[in-house]
Structure 1
Amino acid sequence: MVRHTDELPREPFNETDMRLQWNKFVDRLNNTGQKIMATYMTINDPSLEGTTIRLELPNEGSKVDFDTNKHELLGYLRGKLHNHDIVIDVNVNEMVSTKHAFTPIEKFEKLKSINPALELLRKTFDLDI
């Protein structure tokens, strides 16, 4: 059965939902050995404007490679977030520097920026970072 575009889901979602699914897809890529695409997806945090996901990459070559391979990601996000209006807009910013978390505190802060509930979890169980 072929669905018309009017019948495809368009449920609302927020940036936290999008980043959670984004990171699950990165894990999936890493587990299947697709490290280059996973790296592109983690160079910068994606942002959300309506149903447009914006990502900055450091050069034109990485943009072309990402755009060539983003169809599986787009299908995954549209399915998981139940919204078929989602598009990914990639911009090149040669001033972008890779942001990696190295210390446990930096890693925790990065994860907390994706899911603020981690701070509640840390406090509830009196966990050290």
Structure 2
Amino acid sequence: MLLMWNKFAQRLSDSGQKIMATYMQINDPVLAEDGVTLNLELPNEGSKVDFDRSKNELIGYLRGKLHNHDIVIETHVNEEVSKKHAFTPQEKYERLKAINPTIELLRKTFDLDI
């Protein structure tokens, strides 16, 4: 199943349908215990809508190649918890310090305020 999935993604990519190919390659689909349901996790609701709109051709391809006309693809959104934004100067400084700890040395060297 995974081999056919990847072949179809490559075929889409070669024909210029790069967005759909990218959605297919974000995560490998997981075959459910029932043997006919493929579960695919996508990063956001927009990609889910785009994928669901275009998945009929993929389902037809998989059904034909795998000789299983009961195949269904279910998409699930797995969004990370939204990131906390830094608003105050202290929060911004702490965020920069987390990215590059040497900023503390710079602050001390030049006796800078936050």
| TM-score tier after normalising by the smaller chain length | 0.5 to 0.7
1:67 alignment counterpart: 52
Structure 2 stretches of 5 or more lacking a match? 81-114
Q: Does 1:19 align with 2:5?
A: no
Equivalenced residue count is: 78
Q: Considering only CA atoms, is the larger Rg found in Structure 1 or Structure 2? A: 2
Tell me the secondary structure at the aligned position of residue 24 of structure 2.
helix
Partner amino acid, structure 2, of 1:43: I
Tell me the secondary structure at the aligned position of residue 70 of structure 1.
helix
Q: Distance in 1 between matches of 2:11 and 2:27?
A: 18
Q: Distance in 2 between matches of 1:65 and 1:27?
A: 18
Over aligned residue pairs, what C-alpha RMSD do you find? 0.5
Structure 1 stretches of 5 or more lacking a match? 1-17, 96-129
Partner amino acid, structure 2, of 1:54: N
TM-fit CA distance, 1:72: 0.3
1:81 alignment counterpart: 66
Q: Does 1:42 align with 2:25?
A: yes
Q: Distance in 2 between matches of 1:45 and 1:27?
A: 14
Q: Does 1:31 align with 2:6?
A: no
Partner amino acid, structure 2, of 1:34: Q
Identity rate of aligned residues, in percent? Answer: 73
Deviations 1:33-57 (A, max 9, x none): 0000000001111110121000000
1:119 alignment counterpart: none
Q: Distance in 1 between matches of 2:40 and 2:16?
A: 22
